[in-house]
């Protein structure tokens, strides 16, 4: 069954990911391109082969020829579209963050629960092939530990394991370049700490395998900051974001140490591990855009593609491909949600699952503003099931 999708918000993100992914899908069809700017909507429809275009999202919600809405706007449009869409029986894939505040999140969750119509939040990195492999290796490290003898071992069974040896240490480094952002991000009171870092808070929660208990943020929410998330079992996640990096360098590094195993994912194109005998040291993943035949795999292939694109720009040439991008799971995440709607698998990120991520991001913003750590309570990540009023009281 082919599902007919409408994209609401035809900006840079939609053009880079969702519009081309829908145009290329065998199971999804781009039916409507919608944007407040009619010219932008018409141009997107023409470029990506949509059946028609709209400039009013209300028409998309009411449209009988739309089975799924893909919401790609800024967070100024979330619950106002999602709630009536769910009431109309239309599932929604919404870009992150799911909302800009707690009350709006609860409106969406109440609507999803009362209607039974699914919502998927675009924490797409969890669906990237490289991230799925990293999570599998981390699970092995947590359950079985290293099975490769250490080159240096001064313990040899002479002491009991330390309590800390059962915890995990997580480092997520995000290299960003302020020149690549549109100006609105620097005037937004939530800044990058909410709009971008929910991706990495989501990964930290998935990789830690324990409940968060405290968070601390140091720096400016506009981009240069370090975030720390402490977990009940003693695990710790450190998330560093910079705005003074270079766009042509690898953007994301995720490194996890657990059970005397170290696993590192470099820019979603190269996964390395030491400590697990049955796993390869290095696994490489192809670029989504920018690669050419003959390029080496992994991080070296990424740099080869960047060098080629830089040379083309210096020579005044601009080909069809402008950037060297890895696969960060955008296509897989959307396709997994469509499969879920067909009854073929789980929702890759239900709205309930995104609640804790956004709640913790808001606490980190508060920490950055006050200079004080913030406690994370059970109600920050464990929603009560039951009537909507008790849910509302409990979570606020």
Q: What does the pLDDT look like over 291-314, one tens digit per residue?
A: 999 999 999 999 999 999 999 888
CATH code, domain carrying 229:
3.30.360.10
Residue among 72, 18, 101 nearest 109 (CA): 101
What is the domain extent for residue 277? 126-150+161-285
10 Å CB burial of residue 150 (0-12, 13-18, 19+) is exposed
Same domain? For 107 and 130 the reply is: no
Asked if the structure places residue 372 within a domain, the reply is no
Q: Is the peptide bond before 21 cis (omega within 30 degrees of 0)?
A: no
- Decide if 70 contacts 34 (C-beta within 8 A): no
Q: How many CB atoms lie within 10 A of CB 89?
A: 10
pLDDT value at residue 234 = 96
- The pairing of strands 261-266 and 252-258 is antiparallel
Q: How many CB atoms lie within 10 A of CB 296?
A: 12
**Percent above pLDDT 70 for the chain:** 96
Same domain? For 52 and 100 the reply is: yes
For residues 19-44, give the mean pLDDT: 96
Whole-model pTM: value is 0.91
Residues 6+ positions from 25 with CB-CB distance below 8 Å? 331, 335, 338
Cα dihedral 100, 102, 103, 108, rounded to 10, equals 80
pLDDT value at residue 31 = 97
Rounded CA separation 40/331 (Å): 23
Same domain? For 166 and 251 the reply is: yes
Asked if the structure places residue 238 within a domain, the reply is yes
Instruction: Mark which of 267, 285, 303 sits at the end of a domain.
Output: 285
Same domain? For 176 and 277 the reply is: yes
Higher-confidence position of 1 and 221: 221
Total domains in the fold of the chain: 2
Instruction: Mark which of 285, 308, 333 sits at the end of a domain.
Output: 285
pLDDT value at residue 76 = 85
**Percent above pLDDT 90 for the chain:** 77
Same domain? For 140 and 100 the reply is: no
Look at residue 387 and tell me whether its pLDDT is greater than 60: no
Asked if the structure places residue 52 within a domain, the reply is yes
Residues 6+ positions from 108 with CB-CB distance below 8 Å? 78, 79, 82, 83, 98, 99, 119, 351
Rounded CA separation 308/304 (Å): 6
Look at residue 385 and tell me whether its pLDDT is greater than 70: no
Asked if the structure places residue 8 within a domain, the reply is yes
Same domain? For 75 and 206 the reply is: no
- The SS3 assignment for 140 reads helix
pLDDT value at residue 391 = 34
CATH code, domain carrying 44:
3.40.50.720
DSSP designation for 63: -
Same domain? For 68 and 45 the reply is: yes
* 220-268 confidence digits (pLDDT tens): 888 899 999 999 999 999 999 999 999 999 999 999 999 999 999 999 9
Asked if the structure places residue 392 within a domain, the reply is no
* 318-352 confidence digits (pLDDT tens): 766 678 999 999 999 999 999 999 999 999 999 98
């Amino acid at each position: 069954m082919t599902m007919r999708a409408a994209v609401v918000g035809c900006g840079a993100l939609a053009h880079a990911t969702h519009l081309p992914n829908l145009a290329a899908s065998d199971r999804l069809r781009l039916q409507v391109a919608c944007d407040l700017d009619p010219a932008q909507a018409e141009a997107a429809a023409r470029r990506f082969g949509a059946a028609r275009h709209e400039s009013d999202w209300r028409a998309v919600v009411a449209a009988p020829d739309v089975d799924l809405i893909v919401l790609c706007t800024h967070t100024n449009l979330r619950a106002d579209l999602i709630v009536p869409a769910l009431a109309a029986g239309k599932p929604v894939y919404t870009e992150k963050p799911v909302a800009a505040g707690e009350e709006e999140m609860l409106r969406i969750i109440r609507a999803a629960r009362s209607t039974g119509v699914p919502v998927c939040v675009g924490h797409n990195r969890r669906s990237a092939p490289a991230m799925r492999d990293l999570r599998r290796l981390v699970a092995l490290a947590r359950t079985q530990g290293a099975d490769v003898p250490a080159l240096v071992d001064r313990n040899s069974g002479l002491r009991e394991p330390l309590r800390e040896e059962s915890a995990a240490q997580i480092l997520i480094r995000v290299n960003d370049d302020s020149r690549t952002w549109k100006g609105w991000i620097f005037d937004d009171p939530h800044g990058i700490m909410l709009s971008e870092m929910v991706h990495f808070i989501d990964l930290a929660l998935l990789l830690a395998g324990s409940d968060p208990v405290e968070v601390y943020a140091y720096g400016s929410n506009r981009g240069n900051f370090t975030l720390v998330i402490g977990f009940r079992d003693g695990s710790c996640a450190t998330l560093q974001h910079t705005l003074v990096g270079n766009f042509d360098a690898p953007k994301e590094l995720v490194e996890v140490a657990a059970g005397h195993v170290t696993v590192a994912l470099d820019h979603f194109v190269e996964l390395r591990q030491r400590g697990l005998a049955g796993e390869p040291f290095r696994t490489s993943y192809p670029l989504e855009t920018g690669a050419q035949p003959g390029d080496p795999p992994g991080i070296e292939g990424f740099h080869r593609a960047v060098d080629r694109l830089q040379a083309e720009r210096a020579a005044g040439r601009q080909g069809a491909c402008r950037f060297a991008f890895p696969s960060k799971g955008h296509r897989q995440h959307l396709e997994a949600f469509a499969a879920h709607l067909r009854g073929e698998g789980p929702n890759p990120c239900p709205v309930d699952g995104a609640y804790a991520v956004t709640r913790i991001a808001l606490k980190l913003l508060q920490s950055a503003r006050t200079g004080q750590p913030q406690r994370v309570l059970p109600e920050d990540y464990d929603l009560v099931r039951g009537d909507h009023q008790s849910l509302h009281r409990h979570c606020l």
